Structure 1
């Protein structure tokens, strides 16, 4: 079993405070602000953006592997995750994720491409961890 570590800290109250997150392996440090979650503030990241990055990366890797296992060689996979933060009966929640992926792969029929893409969406570990969230996929060959 493999373990991976990240940490975060927060200073101040929620609306006016700020924080940082650290990814242990790479040492990457990023900023966090409340306004990046609910306003048009591009000066820092949000937890939802970090979940989106993790999901896009996990899906891309799973899709690459699934294509390879199916006998296809992907040249490039680019995936963007659109994470929606909304309200439900329990308060604020991630209510949906749209994965938009563009893949350069040759000699694969559209139906097989879509079958493998949907399998990767269902089986990547981050998708499984987000099982309570509606996850949609737009997959295109380029």
Structure 2
């Protein structure tokens, strides 16, 4: 089992608050996020962008491994994920993640490619996460 971590801090509340997010690897290190980065043009990141990066990279790697397992050894895969945030009653919800793939794989036909790509989409860990159980251990100090 592998566990990776990230942390977020939010100082202030609501639209006036400012957040920072960091990852275990240091790729993100105290990067800004908040209302302005999520709904406006302020520099920084937001949760949907991070989910999109995770989904695009996970799917692309899963497809790469599936193609290799099917006997293919040469190719290039480029995936864009667009994660949509919609209004949901008084709040919001992530309603979808649209993957757009451009691939160049030597010696594959369209039917085999489509089958392998659909399986990779269904089986990449981030695709599975989007419907996974979520736990919470909350403490008030």
TM-score using structure 1 length: 0.84
Distance 1:74 1:92 in 2: 42
Q: Cα gap change, 1:107/1:27 in structure 2, threshold over 3 Å: closer, same or farther?
A: closer
Higher strand share: 1
Larger CA Rg, structure 1 vs 2? 2
| 1:98-113 alignment runs, 5 A limit | 98-113=98-113
| 1:43-122 alignment runs, 5 A limit | 43-89=43-89, 91-122=91-122
User: Gapped runs of 5+ residues in structure 2?
Assistant: 133-141
Residue number in structure 2 paired with 1:6: 6
Structure 1 position 105, deviation (Å): 1.1
Residue correspondences, number: 131
Q: Which 4+ stretches in 1 moved above 6 angstroms? A: none
TM-score using structure 2 length: 0.85
Post-superposition CA distance 1:68-113 (Å, at most 9, x none): 0111124321111100000235731000110111122111000111
Structure 1 position 38, deviation (Å): 2.2
RMSD: 1.7
